[in-house]
Amino acid sequence: MRTIVCSLVLVLACVLLGCGPSRAKVNGKIVKGSEPYTLSDKGVFVLSFIPESGGGGKAYNATTKPDGTFTIVGPEGKGIPAGKYKVNLQAMDPYGGPDSKDKLGGKYVGEKSSLVVDVGRTDLTIDVGK
């Protein structure tokens, strides 16, 4: 009897541990229209994803490259929960001329950002040309 109870507890624990929210490692690219949106070799994209449904305002930051590609693996390297996210994006480039602070003019920061993506199992494309 004791063996059966222990087995049931072990099976229940395994089921509960595997029932958490699905997570995805996100890869993607930033484009303007259909063309890659790139910065100089000294440029930096500042990119974060904020869950639209709750999440306590927690933002997930992405690792970006000047060629507009990015990766977001989450705080423990296991990805971020699937769902809809508001995107905050800045394009900082010291060689960007008069717009060197943010080549996107602050259009995609905070409440002004209209960028929303659905994180799932596919790569993302963030279009700043809309």
Task: Tally the domains of the chain.
Answer: 1
Q: Give ∠ CA 61-65-70 in degrees, rounded to 5.
A: 50
Is 13 part of any domain?
A: no
Is 16 part of any domain?
A: no
Pairing type for strands 26-32 and 124-127 reads parallel
Q: Which residues contact 75 (CB under 8 A, 6 or more apart)?
A: 60
CATH code assigned at 110: 2.60.40.1120
| pTM for this entry | 0.78
- The predicted-structure confidence for 5-34, as pLDDT tens digits, reads as follows 444 444 444 444 445 567 888 899 999 998
Is 87 part of any domain?
A: yes
Tokens in use for 16?
Answer: 């509960």
- The predicted-structure confidence for 72-130, as pLDDT tens digits, reads as follows 988 888 889 999 999 999 999 887 666 568 999 999 999 899 999 999 878 999 999 87
Is 14 part of any domain?
A: no
Residue 81 main-chain phi, psi, to 5 deg: -60, 140
Q: Which domain holds residue 62?
A: 22-127
Q: What is the CA radius of gyration of the chain?
A: 19
Is 5 part of any domain?
A: no
DSSP code for 21: -
